[in-house]
Each structure stands twice: as structure tokens, then as C-alpha cells.
Amino acid sequence: MRIFDLYLRRAGLAGAATRTQHRSMQRLMLDCEASRLGDLRRQICLDLRDAGLEVSALRVGPGMVDGSVHAYLDVDCPPERRAAMMCQVRRLRQHPGVRRLDVDAGVPA
């Protein structure tokens, strides 16, 4: 868990342990090249924060293709911010480093 808190701190966000109340969660499932993950993670976290959304957890695992990784971001997304969330998703799908980006609604808190 410490490694994920480090990712969040470097993106300018507080650790996931400080969050106690979750309203409505969305999970972003990202597939990208391992070499681009650091830049993408930082950009995603900053863009979501600027849109008024909060990343509550980040998990990274190996991808299906050599040199790729899967990243799972749990985002605290109240219903009134859903449009902003989908706008960010559309922008991220256009990013050259993103191979695939899916959204899973209703993630248990």
C-alpha cells in the first residue's frame, strides 16, 4: 500500500488512508506502455483533480502484452460530477500512450 500512497503523493494527492467517506466510485482501467505510466499517472491525477474529482486508490499490475501495464484508479465521483468524469475519459482515450481505457461504474467502497 505504501507504494500506491507514494504514487498519489507524487501526483500531488493525499494518501488513500486519509479518506474515510466514499460517495460514488468509478474505476478507470487503463492499459498503457510501462515506460509511459509515470507521466500518464501524474497527468491523469492532476486532470481529475482539476475537474473536481478525487483519486482514492491506484493499483498497478502487469499487462497482457510484454512492456505494458494495467493501472486501476478508483475515483470518488459524485453523480453531479459524472459529466466531468466522462469528459476526462474521452480526453484520456485520445492520449497517444493509452492503449485502452475502460470505466466501471458502481465500484464497492
Q: What is the DSSP string of 13-52?
A: ---GGG------EEEEEEEEEGGGHHHHHHHHHHHHHHTT
DSSP tag of 88 = H
**Residue 72, domain member (yes or no):** yes
pLDDT above 70 for 107: no
Does residue 98 belong to any structural domain of this protein? yes
Total domains in the chain come to 1
- Residue 64: CATH number of its domain: 3.30.70.260
Phi, psi of 82 (to 5 degrees): -60, -40
In which domain, by residue range, is 32 found?
Answer: 2-9+23-105
State mean pLDDT over 56-67: 88
Q: pLDDT tens digits, residue range 38-47?
A: 888 898 889 9
Return the amino acid letter for 43. Answer: Q
What pLDDT shows up at residue 20?
46
With a CB cutoff of 8 Å and minimum separation 6, the contacts of 3 are: none
79-100 pLDDT, tens per residue?
Answer: 898 999 999 999 989 988 899 9
Query: Do residues 37 and 67 touch, judged by C-beta distance below 8 A?
Result: no
